[in-house]
Amino acid sequence: MEGKKRLVYVCEGGDCSERGSIELHAELADALHEKDGAGKNRLRKYPCFGGCEHGINVVLFPDKVFYSQVKMADLPEIVEHLTGDGQPLERLTGKVAKDVEQIVWDLLDTGF
Amino acid sequence: MALLLTRPEGATTESLAEHLAAGGYEALAKARAGSQEELIALVRDSDLRGRGGAGFPVARKWEIGRAALAETKHVVVNGGEHEPGSRKDRFLVAKTPHKVLEGAAICAYATGATSIVLYLIEDMTDAIDAARKAIDEATASGHLAGLSIRVALAPTTYVAGEETAALEVIEGRKPWPRKKPPYPGQAGLYGQPTTVQNVETLAWIPGIVTHGAAWFKPGAMLCTLDDSFARPGIHEVPLGTTLRALVDEIGGGTRGGRPVKALLPALSSAFLPASALDTPMTHEAIRAAGSNLGCGGFSVIEEGACIVERAAQIADFFKASQCGQCPPCRMETATIATVFQRAAAGEPGEYAAQVEKIAAFTKGKGNCSLIEMAAAPALSALRLFPGDFDAHAKTGRCPTA
């Protein structure tokens, strides 16, 4: 049913939500509703990515892009990438440890 | 006849006079008349293990305390009995505070400590009152001369019972477990060597000193049976008792009268299936059967009851109880809780693989053992009762509802 949609996960864990991830999720939802007419993306919340000290964390799957320290100000560029052909925002990647990224990919591979 | 549980549930607190009439504080005098080494050897012969959950040999802990070089050393009596359902430590302090104090004073002698802190949860008002009164009585009578003894209050937060979280609280900070090493025996309270010992563990000591190691053997532990048993309450259970005898004879069987489906020795232990009921209750045998005795806060699940919902409750508890300090623990407890919420709601999914993966990733990470505690019941539920999960996934609801 998901087809080939990209899954966009926003962490709703303790640290990330304290940093405003719930509001960021809502803002992203509005932006995608407005700009993702083709329905390329499906937005979801995620319980915790284990990258708490680098929140807010946003993960794209199956692209396997792990964004950290995401701020509201980053959303326009993120949405542009999600809805167009732009590249991932490199400045937001590579902040969490590799093993943390890997367990997240392993879990997402199982459908979690 | 009970060796430790000498006071019935409804009894008043044992006074100093009653304690003395029963030979109280003679064990402390006897211990002090010998050497620290002799005392520790006696405790080693008794094979007493810590009753807080980890089962660490008491003599080894005392030897570490004795060998530590420092002017000031401490004993912390850990009454941070935060395990839901367990109330044996509270009972011991509330009913027989002098026995606990005497055990702590003997531990202080063995380790060379001059300071004792009784760490009790702030809502244990009966135990707190009894402890304060007993400290006043025994200090006035001179039985605890040379020792500085005080009560420190723990918050009700689950993780506050972890031994280094206890040290943090006593020092006036929030209950966050410390990174180890150093262990408390090396650098504990205020950076000084500290022997942290569970209440029940210390309560056993006067009897062992008075009557000898053979009196204690094969050993016994206090178990709190919750209301899933027909006869709930605190029971003194000789080690080696089979789990079947624990359930049927001591616990009076299951509350609903149906056969046992699974047994949970503590919330933080793995489920044991009915096929493990002939396992003798020893640390080694329970471990070999795939679980852990913990602090003996037993719960039984009867035939017809659903493991999925029970496992989901436990997972929610650990998610809410982790302290938030270590990201892997946050991630693991949140992941497991979500897995079981989905399973309970009947969403199909690779639940076993998900919990196995996150548990393998987080094992050994974090400052305390809560990570392993959350994984144990979750993994065992999935491994032992896959049918319950399948039934949830097929029908979208609990098959027993």
Residues B87-102, mean pLDDT to the nearest whole number: 97
Nearest to B131 by CA among B235, B49, B202: B202
Look at residue A3 and tell me whether its pLDDT is greater than 80. Answer: no
Residue B76: which of B173, B192, B204, B156 has the closest Cα?
Answer: B192
**Residue numbers of B between 351 and 370 with CB closer than 8 Å to A:** 353-354, 357-358, 361
Average pLDDT over residues B347-359: 92
Closest chain A residue to the Cα of B352, Cα to Cα:
A110
Could you report how far apart the first and last alpha carbons of chain B are, in Å?
42
pLDDT at residue B212 is higher than 70? yes
Mean pLDDT of A54-79: 96
The complex's ipTM works out to: 0.89
> Band of the pLDDT at B401, cuts 50, 70, 90?
low
A26 in any annotated domain = yes
Whether residue A76 lies inside any domain: the answer is yes
Q: Is the pLDDT of residue A91 over 50?
A: yes
Host H or E run for residue B221: strand B220-225
CA dihedral sign of residues B232, B236, B238, B239: positive
Span A81-86, average pLDDT:
87
Position B130 pLDDT exceeds 60: yes
pLDDT for A1 equals 38
Is B273 near chain A, with CB under 8 Å? Answer: no
Task: Measure the CA–CA gap between B244 and B232, rounded to whole angstroms.
Answer: 15
Count up the domains in chain A and report the number.
1
**Average pLDDT of span B254-276:** 96
Q: For A69, phi and psi rounded to 5 degrees?
A: 50, 40
Q: Which residues pair with A45 in a beta bridge?
A: A10
Kindly report the average pLDDT of chain B as a whole number: 95
How crowded is residue A13: how many other Cβ atoms within 10 Å of its Cβ? 24
For chain A, percent of residues with pLDDT exceeding 90: 88
Domain of A86 in residue numbering reads as 6-109
Segment B354-370 shows an average pLDDT of: 93
Q: What is the distance between the alpha carbons of residues B338 and B308, in angstroms, rounded to a whole number?
A: 12
Q: Do A111 and B350 touch (CB under 8 A)?
A: yes
What would the DSSP string read from start to end of B15-73? Answer: PHHHHHHTTTTHHHHHHHHS-HHHHHHHHHHHT-B-SSSS--BHHHHHHHHHH---S--
The Cα–Cα gap between B221 and B204 comes to 9
Q: What is the pLDDT of residue B53?
A: 87
Judge whether residue A75 has pLDDT over 60.
yes
> Residue A58: enclosing H or E segment and its boundaries?
strand A58-61
CATH number at residue A73: 3.40.30.10
Residue A55 forms part of a structural domain: yes
- C-alpha–C-alpha distance, residues B217 and B199, integer Å: 19
B348 to chain A, any CB pair closer than 8 A? The answer is no
Question: Cβ A13–B328 below 8 Å, yes or no?
Answer: no
Report the pLDDT value the prediction gives residue A2, as an integer from 0 to 100.
Answer: 47
Q: Is residue A1 part of a domain?
A: no
Measured between beta carbons, the chain B residues lying within 8 angstroms of A100 are 327
Q: Do B357 and A106 touch (CB under 8 A)?
A: yes
Neighbours of B164 (CB within 10 A): 21
Q: What is the pTM of this model?
A: 0.91
CB contact under 8 A, B331 and A106: no
Q: What is the rounded average pLDDT of the residues B82-87?
A: 92
